[in-house]
A and B are shown apart, each in its own frame.
Chain A
Amino acid sequence: MGSTFLNKLLLIAGFASLAHAAFSAAHHRTYLRLTEQEWNSLPLDLILQTVISLVVVVYNIIEVVGHFKEIRATVDMQQKTWDTLGNFPSFYSFNHRGRALNPGYTPPEKVQ
């Protein structure tokens, strides 16, 4: 549980950082337009921030959302046992000794 909490925290931080990077990029362009400078590319720190926070977000989303399913078809099956595979809920029958589990159960009288 502790690690998913950390992942959630990092995920929020990553999103915040990504939004911050977008905001900074917009801000940078307005600044360039106001100072009438030529626009070539984003400054390196903004690019780095975008890429790193994207990686952080992608990684943590995968950790938070759930576990991956095994891609090999047989691995899921290997865990199964005959106890569960040979059990069919739609064909259950109820006349078995389970009724003795009822607290109010009275055993039938012996037929002489």
Chain B
Amino acid sequence: MTLNYEEMSWSDVRDQFRKWREETGRHSEEVVQLWVAVLEDKVHKTGNERHLILEQVIIAALDTARFDIATKCTKQLSLEFPGSLRVMKFKAMRYEALEQYDEADEVLDAIIAKDETNAAPRKRKIAILKARGRRVEAIKELNDYLKKFMSDQEAWHELCSMYLAEGEYGKASFCMEEVLLHNPHSHLIHQRLAEIRYTMGGVENVEAARTYYSQALKLNPHNLRALYGLYLSCNFLANSKAVSSKRKESQKLAQWALEQVSSHTAKQSSIKNNEKLILSLEAALGNLEIKSN
């Protein structure tokens, strides 16, 4: 996204920051640039939102290694809230960004000793293990964490991606199912779970993948990735050794998915009359296919 810093007033920047905070977009570089260009001098006008903005800027500044900005903002916060554990966490994060992981761990341990119910520093400790490349230890720690904080869907999600990185698809799909329980209306989670199941392979898993893809499409009919996934899994099932009635059904579903995909792309494409182009592309790709005879 390109933003014209000159034409943005401080309230525009505040709204933009709020949007990024709510949808948890990372956008660290933009946040730092907007902060320096516009919001830094006007932050006192934002009222109680100021603290949230400062936290956001600290994280963005650490992300882009702008320690000067991070230190300045942390100082402002610690002047206002002396001895706050939440502010102490940023000190640990600063150590983390400087790759002084042992010091960061010490600070985090001190926070946990003071407040055992505080989830954030425990998560940071796991992030440190991950940053050090000790993924197996991180997985173990995260499992321990989830035994204490079972309703933390972010942690389940993270554990899922760590298992995926390790290639443990069965455990990853279990974690994704936990996340799904928290957001049963999210088409993306259904789609993700279907992808994991499809990757695992085998008729049974692909059948589950097909079901999840179908549910994702029911929740959001415009999800092209899920349509393509549905097409792939149906194709797999149509060519498998299942009962012929099931194979026929899959074939029909694959055909339907293909039609949906082509109608969506034709509708949303910015190129006019792209049918000709698609046809020629199809012909070209068809010529590339290796024929068995």
Contacts and interface: CB of A to CB of B under 8 A. Distances in A.
Contacts of B183: 77
Interface range for B: 35 or more
Contacts of B187: 74, 77-78
B127 A91 contact: yes
A23 interface: no
Interface in B97-155: 97, 99, 120, 123-124, 126-128, 130-131, 154
A102 B130 contact: no
Contact of A88 (B24, B28, B29): B24
B123 A82 contact: no
The A contact surface, by secondary structure, is helix
B280 interface: no
Nearest to A100: B65
A92 to B, nearest CB: 7
B29 A91 contact: no
A102 B63 CA distance: 10
Contacts of B209: none
Interface in B144-194: 154, 157-158, 161, 183, 185-189, 192
Of A74, A80, A91, A102, most buried by chain B (CB within 10 Å of CB) is: A91
B264 interface: no
A5 interface: no
A94 to B, nearest CB: 4
Given A77-B220, A94-B63, A94-B97, 5 more contacts: A86-B161, A91-B123, A91-B127, A93-B130, A99-B65
The 8 closest A-B pairs by CB, nearest first: A99-B65, A93-B131, A94-B97, A102-B65, A101-B64, A90-B123, A73-B185, A84-B23
